[in-house]
Structure 1
Amino acid sequence: MSLESQEAFQKQYQAGKQAFERGQYRASIERLKAACELTITSSRLGGETQLWLVTAYQAAGESADAIALCESLLQHPHSATRQQAKRLLEIIKAPILKRPKEWMTEIPDLKNLSDSSREDRFIRSKPTQEPKKKYQPEPVDLTQVDTKDNHFTGIALVAILLILGGLWLFSARPWG
């Protein structure tokens, strides 16, 4: 591959990837097809370009083209390309699972929104009730608090000392 065709390939390849990442799948397909024509399809880079093209086909809803290209990549000379093509083919052919309606968020149709007035474009919220006040805890009546000592700290301290003493005693004795 000459230097000029290599530069042209890189330009098309990068443009195709960027278009894909922006969600412009049709433009991505066109750029990636042009990049495929500028490279040797049996090379590692050619296989990588074709894998991007499979993904762009799938994203554009052209599953038949994606499957056909992916199946041809199963015979690619580069092993990593074959493995990736196999994985992509399994994903593309996987059954589509049905989602419960409560998992879905409904997006309103904005086609009927008029463009005639500026007021239609913005939703102005009018306060219907007073603004909420910050949470203030109720004051505690300290005369109602039980401050009688239940000796928990002393009992816990004695228990800890007994455990430590027992560990020291057993570690100091030789077991014969």
Structure 2
Amino acid sequence: MLLADCSATSVRAITALDAAASAQLRPAYSLERIELRRRLILSEQRKRLARCHAASSSDDDAIPGNIDMAASAFAKATAAGADADEVIAQQLGAGSVANMTSVQEKYKDKVKEKLETRAEELRKEKEARAVKFSQGKIAYERGQYDTAAKLFETALNEEGPFTQLGGEIQMWLALAYQACGRNEECIVQCKAIENSHPVPSVRRQAAEIRYILEAPKLEIKQEEKVQIPVLTDLDPNKGGRAPAPRPRVVPKRERPKTWDEEFWTNYEPPQYLKNRYVWVAAGIVLIALAWYSTGLTQ
């Protein structure tokens, strides 16, 4: 606004000076015209310096646009491999680092620090919202549908409805409403997703759920329903004569074993030696005994 006012004033002043010059008054107004031009240039320089200084301040509205959007764009660009200084130059409107003015170069590091700090804060906030979303899904899987709906509502209020995560939260919230018997709220939620969410896949899922809920219910007669037998009705003896009890078998008392029976029960035959050297030695001994006994008989 200040720049626009100065420009309008300068244009009017210059027009008046030109008219005066045509009336042979140029020498009297030449100095005033130069002074107005100088003030216009100084005003433009002050405006540019104020924008660069505001970008490095702690005010959330300082960076052109929204600081959250700028921080998110900065985080996505750097995660994709872009140079941080080049991203900052684009944020400041220079296009590249080579085109930055000395004033922009002076405040570049402060702007980058501010964006990095805010991007980290946004990442932690998103993780916290994702935790609540996970808690809601666990409650839903356990059949705690009212608790799940409250958790989904809290996560949705913090995340917002127009992000990818916000769309998933809204889908689970609609399912929780349907599980609680709140079909009308479920349909309204699905219609809101269809009409406003920017992601096509989320809109398509919401339309499918709404189609199922709004489909006419089939009327099934009682005789057309499948009767599943109860397991307690499968007892073959139910309603008949009770079977006769079986005679109880009395176990026989075992008498103690005699010494002979105990010996032969625990008897193990001798283990023959398998070492051939022992057999050779035994054979030599037997041959010697036989020869010795033969000599005695003679």
TM-score, normalisation: structure 2: 0.35
SS of residue matched to 2:191? helix
SS of residue matched to 2:143? coil
The counterpart of 1:83, out of the listed 199, 204, 217, is: 204
| Alignment CA distance shift 1:80-1:98 (3 Å) | same
C-alpha distance in structure 2 between counterparts of 1:60 and 1:70, whole Å:
16
Paired residue for 1:68?
188
| Alignment CA distance shift 1:96-1:8 (3 Å) | same
Cα shift readout 1:94-121 (whole Å, capped 9, x = no counterpart): 1122233352669xxxxxxxxxxxxxxx
C-alpha distance in structure 2 between counterparts of 1:3 and 1:78, whole Å:
21
Aligned ranges 1:133-144 → 2 under 5 Å = none
Paired residue for 1:35?
155
Please tell me whether the aligned partners of residues 8 and 38 of structure 1 are also in contact (alpha carbons under 8 angstroms): no
SS of residue matched to 1:84? helix
Matched, 1:17 2:137: yes
Paired residue for 1:6?
126
| Alignment CA distance shift 1:100-1:67 (3 Å) | same
The counterpart of 1:93, out of the listed 196, 200, 214, is: 214
| Alignment CA distance shift 1:26-1:104 (3 Å) | farther
Aligned ranges 1:52-67 → 2 under 5 Å = 52-67=172-187
C-alpha distance in structure 1 between counterparts of 2:222 and 2:156, whole Å:
41
Q: How far did 1:81 drift?
A: 0.5
The aligned amino acid for 1:24 is Q
Work out the percentage of aligned pairs sharing the same amino acid: 31
C-alpha distance in structure 2 between counterparts of 1:22 and 1:98, whole Å:
31
C-alpha distance in structure 2 between counterparts of 1:8 and 1:98, whole Å:
46
Q: How far did 1:9 drift?
A: 0.8
Aligned ranges 1:97-136 → 2 under 5 Å = 97-102=218-223, 103=225, 129-130=242-243
C-alpha distance in structure 2 between counterparts of 1:14 and 1:105, whole Å:
39
Please tell me whether the aligned partners of residues 35 and 49 of structure 1 are also in contact (alpha carbons under 8 angstroms): yes
RMSD: 2.5
More helix by share: 2
Q: How far did 1:60 drift?
A: 0.6
TM-score, normalisation: structure 1: 0.57
Please tell me whether the aligned partners of residues 47 and 73 of structure 1 are also in contact (alpha carbons under 8 angstroms): yes
The structure, 1 or 2, with the larger RCO (C-alpha pairs under 8 Å, 6+ apart) is 1
| Number of matched pairs | 113
SS of residue matched to 2:219? coil
Cα shift readout 1:124-150 (whole Å, capped 9, x = no counterpart): x9986339xxxxxxxxxxxxxxxxxxx
C-alpha distance in structure 2 between counterparts of 1:16 and 1:99, whole Å:
35
